[in-house]
Structure 1
Amino acid sequence: MGHALDAGGRRKQKKGRSVWWMVHSWLGLKLSIFLSFILLTGTLAVVAHEIDWLVTPAMRVTPRDAPQASWGKLAQAAARTEPTARLQTLYAPIDPWFAAEAWMDHGKGAPSRVYIDPWSARVTGTHRWANVHRFLRQVHRHLMLPTKIGIPIVCSLALLLATSLVTGLVTYKKWWRGFLRRPRGGDARRMTGDLHRLGGLWSLWFVALIAVTGIWYLVETLGGQAPVPKLPKVASASPVSGDALDRMAALVQRQRPTLKIREIRFTEDNGVIFLGQDQAWLVRDRTNGVAVDPSTGRITMSLDGRNLGVHQRVSEMADPLHFGTLGGLATKIVWFVFGALLTGLAVTGAIIYTLRLKKERRTASRKLKVAWTGMGAWAYLCTALVLLALALTPGAIAGAS
């Protein structure tokens, strides 16, 4: 009788694992087209600035062992290049081999970009608004759709990743022993399955990270945004000249000597805002800043990332963790590698389930046809979303800011 109970318990346990496995496999196949597209564009978005650097000669400069030009000289160079436009934002170089970048507002349509050598303050070239970074950011974030529609659709995949993580661990018996298990040879299904499990184990931390931050973005879209500080209004002022900007930058550095200015915004209502990194860890540049009224030269507000509430802190941590910008190029490379691995998991997961369907149905049909029919209506829906995003791209990246 004891043996009968043991057998019954094992059957029940096996059935339970089978249900988990079916959920894992079903999600991996049905939504594989859409999931692979979002994972691939997100992976490329991590290094989108670097891709733009490779394809845009004006963004490339030679690092020098010399003092860099002042913010005022950079602003003057941009203003001389686009005299009919208003300087909207000025960015410090992302890395020493990048040019500084100015966004110029032409009154209607998207801004243009002016690239400036940060040492000589010489303009190296101009570029339209649309670039690789803009395309990847928008297609990955909201599929070129209105954000209220696109972001929830994309972020719902975070729930899929979380479910796949849990079901994968449940179905992989004694998974903690598999980190150093070599893939077996033999048929394609066995090899693909072993590679899928091995890659999944080593990317557990990354899957969890992307799932959690993706769920957070979904929460924000559904009304859970953290409060954003309101800056004081200032009187409209004429464009800030180079010398005036340098005086304001010097004032900001006296007030906040530890602030590393990375961005300057020239607003019409809130004055000139200096943003960057300070003593708070794992936050976006916008959390540390000083606003200056250009008409009086006085500081109107100072923001310090160390003073954030819990809700704000979580919100500001999401981007550095999701895109791997917390440690510069080194962490972006790590995020890119694991993003590619995660994309590979989506592809191999679909292959595994396709091979299983092909074996069960004993069909001679090609794997692609088996996969397509196995996805059912989801194949058409997912493909339609991808094609729609690509069709909307020309208008979306050319006109949005």
Structure 2
Amino acid sequence: MAKPRASKGRSLWWVVHAWIGLKLSVFLTFILLTGTLAVFAHEIDWMVTPAMRVAPQAGPTASWGQLAEAAAEAAPEGRLQTLYAPIDPWFAAEAWIDPGKGAPGRVYIDPWTAEVQGKHGWANVHRFLRQVHRHLMLPTKIGIPIVSALALLIAISLVSGVVTYKKWWRGFFRMPRGGDGRRLTGDLHRLVGLWSLWFVALIALTGIWYLVETLGGNAPVPRLPATVATAPPPTGAALDRLIAVARRADPDLDIREIRFTETNGVILLGQSHAWLVRDRANAVAVDPATMAVTGQLDGRTLSLHQRISEMADPLHFGTFGGLATKILWFLFGAAMTAMAVTGTIIYSFRLAKAEKSERSGLRIAWAGMGAWGYVSVALVLLALALTPGAIGGAS
């Protein structure tokens, strides 16, 4: 009697696996695809925005003060808000300018010559992919739970897939069989799934964490002390002196971002001793008026709750290891997206054979999705319709 019960259990798990993979396949594919592309969103912007591109040089780079001064002079109508270090040697430095009303504008500066290469509005590829993948352009309180809930289903799909694949550990080097579309698609689906187990689990866990944060379990970084606002923000030699003060407080801080706030002074953020944390986990705040360090954050002193929160983004998007990990994350993200597609194909093959139907596979799959297909398409179309208003702004 044990075998029938085991078979029945596997059959139930297969129903669960097939339901998730088919009913939500359109929405799941859309979220996985945008997340995969988001790994290289900055690089895509680099390709389509000439002002972001620079030729790496052997000489010393310009100082932060020179970069800030160039950005402020290029956009005197606004207030310098944030200054970012180049992502890679072939990227320009980027400044955000607050116009006082509406979204910030972007200014791109050559990191070696401190020459402004161009200006750009708020809307770009990175902003689109980030917002559509994170919350479908909806208000975050609504959009993030919808998207993050998929992580729970991905986790269930992972477990059900392993349970229904008998002796799955033997399949890592099992080559796909040819000669039949259904067999080939199924073998590819299982093979890619096995090699992606670790990645699917990672994406599911970080996605579940985002859901936890949205539902009230977030762990914000400690607030920095308030200071008196200075106008305009320090640039040129004044900023360089301020940075020298910050470097004495944390000599190992690799500054990746400078925020010119109106309530907490100038905040320098980046990477230091703590590994696998966002830049904001390591920071030094300096009061421009007194040149005194008013606060400091060290990623090594975070609580376990805070450390998990700061690890989520680097792990989810693979940014912690530079270009190498981003390539790896992109490839496995593409594999996950392909599994969402092949899962639907497998279902259409299976149903066509059972019904001996002459309908196309696409029509069979769409019919199998039922109302969930319309819901998924509606969410995707809604996100695209909301895009102009959600990411529009300064020109």
TM range (shorter): over 0.9
Q: Deviations over 1:269-305 (max 9, x none)?
A: 1110000000001000001010011111111001111
Q: 307, 316, 322: which is aligned to 1:328?
A: 322
Opposite residue 25 of structure 2, the aligned amino acid is S
Summarize the alignment of residues 297-316 of structure 1 with structure 2, pairs less than 5 Å apart.
Answer: 297-316=291-310
CA distance in 1, matches of 2:348, 2:8: 22
Question: Structure 2: how far apart are the matches of 1:124 and 1:217?
Answer: 37
CA distance in 1, matches of 2:325, 2:189: 24
Report the counterpart of residue 32 of structure 1 in structure 2. Answer: 25
What SS is found at the alignment partner of 1:227? coil
CA distance in 2, matches of 1:211, 1:265: 32
- List gaps (5 residues or longer) in structure 1: 1-7
Structure 2 gap segments, 5+ residues each:
none
- Aligned equivalents of 1:76, 1:221: Cα separation in 2: 38
Match for residue 376 of structure 1?
370
Q: Give the match's secondary structure for 1:185.
A: coil
- Where does residue 19 of structure 1 map in the other structure? 12
Q: Deviations over 1:63-109 (max 9, x none)?
A: 11111100010011001110111000000000000000000000001
Work out which of the residue numbers 290, 293, 296 in structure 2 matches 1:296. Answer: 290
How far did 1:142 drift? 0.1
User: Which has the higher mean CA deviation after the structures are superposed, 361-370 or 139-148?
Assistant: 361-370
Q: Does 1:242 align with 2:239?
A: no
Residues in 2 aligned to 1:241 and 1:63: alpha-carbon distance in whole angstroms: 24
Structure 2 CA distance, aligned partners of 1:229 and 1:283?
15
How far off its partner does 1:399 sit? 4.2
Query: Does the Cα contact within 8 Å between 2:27 and 2:377 map onto a contact in 1?
Result: yes
Q: Which residue of 2 aligns with 1:118?
A: 111
SS of structure 2 residue aligned to 1:326:
coil
**1:3 match:** none
Check if 1:229 corresponds to 2:222: yes
**359-368 or 113-122: bigger deviation:** 359-368
Q: What TM-score, normalized by structure 2, do the two folds share?
A: 0.98
CA contact (8 A) 2:135 2:142 kept: yes
Letter of the structure 2 residue corresponding to residue 355 of structure 1 = F
- Which residue does 1:363 correspond to in 2? 357
Partner of 1:5: none
Q: Which residue of 2 aligns with 1:354?
A: 348
Q: 2:38 aligns with which of 30, 34, 45?
A: 45
What residue in structure 2 maps to residue 259 of structure 1? 253
Alignment of 1:2-401 (within 5 A): 8-239=1-232, 240-399=234-393
Is the CA contact (8 Å cut-off) linking 2:121 and 2:393 kept in structure 1?
A: no
Match of 1:208, as an amino acid?
A
- Residues matched between the structures, number: 393
- String of CA shifts for 1:215-274, please: whole Å, max 9, x gaps: 000000000011331111111212213111000111111221100111000001111000
SS of the residue 2:392 aligns to: helix
**Residues 151 and 203 in structure 2, CA contact (< 8 A), matched pair in contact too:** yes
Question: 3-state DSSP class of the match of 2:383?
Answer: helix
Return the alpha-carbon distance in structure 2 between the equivalents of residues 375 and 236 of structure 1.
56
Q: 1:328 is aligned with what amino acid? A: G
TM-score (norm 1): 0.97
Percentage identity across paired residues of the two chains:
72
**1:362 offset after TM fit, Å?**
1.6
Cα deviation 1:186-227 (Å, max 9, x = unaligned): 211100000000000000000000000000000000000113
Q: Which amino acid aligns with 2:357?
A: T
Distance 1:26 1:63 in 2: 51
Kindly provide the amino acid, as one letter, of the partner of residue 335 in structure 2. Answer: L
Give CA-to-partner distance per residue, 1:338-366, whole Å, 9 cap, x none.
00000000000011011111111221111
